Structure 1
């Protein structure tokens, strides 16, 4: 891979937007949105991959509406399971790499400590089930892959918890936020920058010894460091943006905020495998949030 061709999906999403920037310099990036390539049309997707002949496919695109997925199982399965299966089959055919993003929702949240990659999976909702099906399809294909599980993703673009809290703080003097679900808020730029670093390491290894990184193919957890609740995350958002005196936040149990899809109480993921294999460690979630607030 003297100069990689990278096919990037979902460029208008939180992570895809950042990836379109961090992947520059690694090679030629073919970035597609839904107007350029309808990812629900799997035959068209397969033909597009064969025409572009990428060395790496980076796929942050997904069906991410967790509650709506309970009623839209077919569409969720198409984008979260069948689409990555097509990408994986094409990568296996040409010996390309696939980078795919998954979720803490493959776990049931019953464990008291952070989840490691080898822990038993037991999704509580359709979204988690379809993301797990995508993981399994990739592994089954035999392609070289990085499946990056992340959690509580936020950023300056798209629909996410951070932007919702800031919007509601402009409208209401008091908010209630769930305080008994725990995880690590993860900045979309952190995900993109770590991904680019991983691919840079793989590209360097491929130049010196093709196949040198093949044994590192697999599942990795990638989140910002630390642990917090949605309630504490919301409080920190208001502090960082300087509006904590304007809006009061009250903690409530998850049982007081009914939603269509069940969520895990513990979404914490261990990043130790990522650190041991690639020498990478994402910043603490509070520092990442502060950096997000400073961006243009």
Structure 2
């Protein structure tokens, strides 16, 4: 008689968010995923974090909850840090207390975007925005508290849930025949379906550390918009503009492309090319 395989229990914070909702769909015979949304867990309360972790006793915590309003953070720094640093510290301490692995979702904004080549996991961080600084503070909190941690930096996220660039472009395609899109910011679009699959793969390993995870390849926002319209067969004329012509409260990294060294070094399955992922989304995820 063979022993029954143990079921991996994963707890996802921010379960109503763009990535959290995607993760909630990845239930298999060998794992169960429990999600807690903002109305079920205030991560800025250390007591609530401990109570939730103690109640569920997960093997893994995937921490998606975050303050993500990049521009608003410039005028709400205290709130951004309260959520992204202190909230992360609270949930990390609770996870560590009950010996759960911890996976923290971070961002390309921890870099200043001035590099002429893709960023490596070990490259010097230098966030220029409150959002980026608060997310980096969260990374450091995790590293100081949890022994078994994964920090996963990602970029330009879109998917079937929440608001994102792809949905915005598709909406505008129904309203306009001409658009202007920034062409001097380069990055890698990331499809939540693929990112969720990668995270599920990652947290089942013992390959701890910092990872860069995005769909492979890179493009500008202008090229991304053109691809969205081409793949969805919308006749929209896209014209390029510079970042300087479209000022925002928070500066955007000119180069957000990140090399996937840790994925390669640990023999993990990389994410597919970004345009292939976009096709899948347009066909299946809208």
Q: Contact 1:87/1:98 (CA < 8 Å) preserved in 2?
A: no
Q: Which moved more, 1:257-266 or 1:171-180?
A: 171-180
For 1:222, which of 210, 213, 216 is the aligned residue? 213
- Structure 2, unmatched stretches of 5+, are none
Are 1:251 and 2:247 an aligned pair? no
Are 1:238 and 2:229 an aligned pair? yes
CA shift, 1:189, in A, is: 0.7
1:179-190 residue pairs with structure 2 within 5 A? Answer: 179-190=183-194
Aligned to 1:53: 57
CA shift, 1:239, in A, is: 0.9
1:114-129 residue pairs with structure 2 within 5 A? Answer: 114-129=118-133
1:1-296 residue pairs with structure 2 within 5 A? Answer: 2-200=6-204, 202=205, 213=206, 216-243=207-234, 245=235, 247-295=236-284
Higher-helix-fraction structure: 1
Q: Which moved more, 1:150-159 or 1:19-28?
A: 19-28
CA shift, 1:23, in A, is: 4.3
Distance 2:9 2:146 in 1: 21
CA shift, 1:262, in A, is: 0.6
- TM norm structure 2: 0.94
> Equivalent residue of 1:166, what SS?
helix
Distance 2:255 2:154 in 1: 13
Distance 1:14 1:81 in 2: 20
Quickly say closer, same or farther: Cα 1:93–1:278, change in 2 above 3 A.
farther
> Equivalent residue of 1:264, what SS?
coil
- Structure 1, unmatched stretches of 5+, are 203-212
Distance 1:199 1:45 in 2: 20
Quickly say closer, same or farther: Cα 1:278–1:195, change in 2 above 3 A.
farther
Q: Contact 1:154/1:161 (CA < 8 Å) preserved in 2?
A: yes
- Structure 1 ranges of 4+ moved more than 6 A: none
> Equivalent residue of 2:278, what SS?
helix
Report the number of matched residues. Answer: 281
CA shift, 1:26, in A, is: 3.8
Residues 185-238 of structure 1, C-alpha deviations (whole Å, 9 max, x = no match)? 0101111001111233x2xxxxxxxxxx2xx21110001000100000001011
CA RMSD for the aligned pairs?
1.5
CA shift, 1:257, in A, is: 0.3
